Structure formats: C-alpha cells, structure tokens
Amino acid sequence: MRSLVWFRGKDLRVADHGPLLEAARTGEVLPLFVLDPYFFAPERASQLPHRMQLLLEGLADLDRALRERGSRLLLAAGRSVEVVPDRVRRWNVDRVLAHRWSEPFAQERDRRVAEALGPVPFELFEGETLVPPGSLRTGQGGSFRVFTPFARAFGRQADPGRPLSAPTWLPPVPEQEGAGTLLPSLADLGLSPNPNLLSGGEGPARERLESFREDGLEAYDRDRDRMDLPGTSRLSQDLHFGFLSVRQVWNATGGQEAGPRTFRNELLWREFAHHLLAEEPRLLSEPFRPAFGAFPWRKDDAAWEAWCEGRTGYPVVDAAARQLLSEGFVHNRARMVAASFLAKHLLLDYRRGEAHYLRWLADGDWACNNLGWQWSAGCGVDAQPWFRVFNPVTQGRKFDPAGDYVRRWVPELESLPDRWIHTPWEAPSAVLAQAGVHLGRTYPVPIVDHSQARARFLDTAKAKL
Ligand SMILES: Cc1cc2nc3c(=O)[nH]c(=O)nc-3n(C[C@H](O)[C@H](O)[C@H](O)COP(=O)(O)OP(=O)(O)OC[C@H]3O[C@@H](n4cnc5c(N)ncnc54)[C@H](O)[C@@H]3O)c2cc1C
C-alpha cells in the first residue's frame, strides 16, 4: 500500500499524527506539503508575514524530523486541488491521508480534492480538536452556543484519549519523487524575517510546553490575566500550526489544582471556537447576532490608523497595537481591551480589526480570532452582554498595576510615575514635563473621551438592536 500523507500547515509534527502512523503501519509513505498560491503567492504571503515565518520554520523542522526517521518532506507547487490529484496519479498512490480542518474554505477545498481524486480514497483524520466538532450535543440534541454548558458537556461526555507516539522509523521516499521543488525563503516571498517572533517547529514547541509545565502551570490561574507578567503558556502558535496537538497539550497539563484546571478551561475555549465555526461557517463573514448585521459602523480612517499604529492616547490600547506589529502576539487581556475599544469606543467594524489581527498575529487562527472579535464587539455567542464596555484605564490599573506592560511597548511614557501611567492626560504639567512627555507631541491626547464614547456606543446600539 502506498499512502500520500498530506501535511496542510496545521499538523506540522511527527508525534500524535494519526495519518502518518496509519500510513507507516501499512506500507510506503509519501509525506507531501503543497506550496499553494492561496498562501504562497507573494501578494498573499504579504498578508500573513508572521505566520509565513513560522510556517517555513515549521516545515524545515518537519523535514528534519522526517529525515531523522529515514524519510523526507516532498514539496510541490501549485493549487492543491490540482497538485494533489496530479501527484497521486504520477506517483501511483493508493490513498491520501490528512487531518480535517474546521474552516469552511478548507472544507470546500477538501470536497473538490475528493472529487478530483475519483476512486482513490481520501481519508480525513480528527486531531485539530480534542473531540470532533458536532460530537457534543445539548440535552435536546442541538449544538452549544454558550461556553459554560459546552465545557460542562465536555467534562461529562468527552474523552480526548492519549497522544500517539511518533514513528521511530519511516520507509524511505523513492529517490526520483518530488525532486526539484525547494522550500522558499522569506526573501523569495518578498518578506523580511522578524527576530521578535518565537521559533516555529515541533522541537521549539515541545520545549515551550515543558518549560510552561515546570514554571507556569501551577500559577496560571493567578497570573494569566496580568499583562505585565509572562503568566501564560505562549503555545497558541504551536496549537495553530499543529507543532503540538491539542491532545498532547491537554494530556501534559492535567491536575486537580486551580492552575491546571484553569488552563484546561482555556483549551476548551479553543475547542468551543472550532466546534462553533465548523457548525456556523457564516461566522467568518457575519456577526452571530443578526441584529448586529445592520449596525452603523463608522468610517473614520484617521481613527482606524491611530488604532492600528498605537496612537489612540490610551496606553494599554496602544501597547497592544504595538506588541502585535512587533511580536506577532498580544496578551489575551490586551486583545480584549483593544478589540472592544475599536468596536465600542471608535464604532469601527470589528471585521476590520479581525482581519488586521489575522494578518499580523503569529497565532492567527480563523476560529479563535473570530470568536475573540465577536465576543469583544458584543455581537457573538456566549453570555458577554453587548452593553458591557471595557474601560481601558481600569483594565490597565487592574491587570498592569505598575504599568510595566505599557512602559515596554510605549517607551515615550517610560518615565511617567505609576500613578499616571494609564492616564497621562490627567498628570499635572510639571509631572509630564519631568517625564519628558508632551501631550499631543510625544504622545497623543486621547482620540475619544471614554465616558462620551461609551454613551455614544450605548445610544447607537440601543437605537439599532
Ligand atoms: C480579539 C481576540 C482575538 C484573538 N485571536 C486569536 C487567534 O487568532 N488565535 C488564537 O489562538 N487565539 C486568539 N485569541 C485567544 C487568546 O487571546 C489567545 O489564544 C491567547 O492570548 C494565546 O496566548 P497563550 O498561548 O499564552 O494562551 P494561554 O492563556 O496559555 O492559553 C492556552 C491556549 O488556550 C487557547 N486559548 C486561550 N484563550 C483562548 C480564547 N479566549 N479563545 C480561544 N482559545 C483560547 C489557546 O490555544 C492558547 O494557546 C483571541 C482573543 C481575542 C480577545
């Protein structure tokens, strides 16, 4: 039996990889990655510079891991729907094995590939989530739209099982197959490397998981909301690219204490996001709550640019914007504050922010990003009431008490005393002068007043919803 194992950018690992193990168990294995112009055309690659960097690193790491086991990664350039059936014919492949994706565009791709493969079987394995989307049902047999009952049902009904071991040996790939196509460099795609990103690949991801288990898990419940502390796992890009499977992370982080329990609850938010998108593909373009479909979002390019570049005059919002562009990462609390600010304070369409995040996040993930944006804008599933408007000042004081997060990303406020770090506009002029802050010149005055912006959002929403 000759199996083509199609790696598709969300399962770049050799451990806990069902398709790879199944192929190895039954004969010859051809591991393939397709350089599809959907992602690799330079105009598309420039839309995901940080994810592209991690993807290329992850592919190089995967090739190394396959070579250590006697195999190697084959590359082919072209549209997946054409390249995969073509290689299947040229290489006399008996079946194609891959992991399932939740996204609607991926499901369409897979439908077309299956059609083009004709009689050759195309087998999709679970593994993107802990249990298959659609497998958890309410008492009435429906799907969940609220997180807490979803998580409770998971606790009652789900068994993610144990991760599979990596194969110790793989059959060699025949010499002539797949020669000629090389992995492009970032420069080939018109991109420059960003040294501030974490490294991509199964090896670095395992090290991150190990160090989080040793140093972060126990205190996770206490520290996870603090923007100024490294209190979270930083595994989101690893879960997105599948450098680690979510089942590996789940199994490595069990325990009855508050730290592990809170952490696993966050993994269930990821699970919820994927189950939801698989059942409601429209969410990538529409708000969950139909009433928000006609919401009168403003068009204000100056406000949009200020938000993107970190010049709103609200230090936490600006820190989030700059961390995103610099590190391809934003602390979860800062994501919530910044996203809420865009939609509620500035009344700008949350979908613009969602696309901006997807472009710059190294962990940019359609399902999790969409859930986070709809939740923050108040138009999504779950119990977050739409009329709750985050106050960026009180959020900053609570979750960045000494202002270290702000000072790191907004260095022009570095010398401002803690008391005014989240409200520079309230600082006496002598304090500002001593800290070298000149409002309107070195740091902006707030582009909106919090109370007025809050009232404007509530009035607009009440009239429309
Ligand atoms: C506006 C907005 C946009 C977001 N966009 C993304 C995105 O594109 N990709 C992404 O992975 N997460 C996204 N999140 C969720 C969350 O912010 C990140 O998963 C988290 O900050 C990643 O850091 P970490 O790995 O250290 O998380 P940890 O706190 O260590 O959590 C562990 C894992 O649980 C999952 N997780 C944690 N919180 C959430 C959540 N609220 N929703 C879904 N999964 C969660 C992630 O896989 C994460 O890696 C978004 C949240 C918001 C509010």
Domain boundary among 235, 255, 279: 279
Residue 175: pLDDT above 90? Answer: no
pLDDT of residue 71: 97
CA of 372 to the centre of ligand 1 (A): 8
Residues 417 and 314 in one domain: yes
The mean pLDDT value of the chain amounts to 96
Q: Where are the alpha helices (H) located in 310-365, listed in sequence order?
A: 315-327, 332-340, 350-360
The pLDDT tens digits of the residues spanning 307-362 come to: 999 999 999 999 999 999 999 999 999 999 999 999 999 999 999 999 999 999 99
Region 414-439: mean pLDDT is 98
pLDDT of residue 18: 98
The domain spanning residue 308 has which CATH number?
1.10.579.10
pLDDT of residue 174: 84
Note whether 396 and 406 are within 8 A (CB): yes
Residues 217 and 66: their CA atoms lie apart, in Å, by 31
Q: Tell me the C-alpha to C-alpha distance, in Å, between residue 339 and each of 184, 265, 304, 387.
A: 34, 22, 12, 14
Residue 181: pLDDT above 90? Answer: no
Does residue 44 belong to any structural domain of this protein? yes
Domain boundary among 259, 279, 299: 279
The pLDDT tens digits of the residues spanning 44-55 come to: 999 999 999 999
Pocket of ligand 1 (CB under 6 A): 224, 232-236, 239-240, 266-267, 269-270, 273, 332, 335-336, 339, 357, 361, 363-365, 368-369, 371-373, 376
pLDDT of residue 280: 93
Does residue 56 belong to any structural domain of this protein? yes
pLDDT > 90 in the chain, percent: 93
CA of 334 to the centre of ligand 1 (A): 11
* Residue numbers of the domain that contains 60: 2-125
Region 435-459: mean pLDDT is 97
Structure pTM?
0.97
Question: Which one of 332, 360, 369, 381 would you pick to mutate in the ligand 1 pocket, going by the greatest count of ligand atoms within 8 A of its CB?
Answer: 332
Note whether 389 and 458 are within 8 A (CB): yes
CA of 356 to the centre of ligand 1 (A): 16
pLDDT of residue 405: 98
Closest atom of ligand 1 relative to the 273 alpha carbon:
43
The pLDDT tens digits of the residues spanning 192-247 come to: 999 999 999 999 999 999 999 999 999 999 999 999 999 999 999 999 999 999 99
Residues 55 and 152 in one domain: no
The domain spanning residue 45 has which CATH number?
3.40.50.620
CA of 233 to the centre of ligand 1 (A): 10
Does residue 360 belong to any structural domain of this protein? yes
Residue 384: pLDDT above 80? Answer: no
Note whether 348 and 300 are within 8 A (CB): yes
Return the bridge partners of 98, or none.
124
Residues 237 and 234: their CA atoms lie apart, in Å, by 8
Residues 309 and 438 in one domain: yes
pLDDT of residue 383: 65
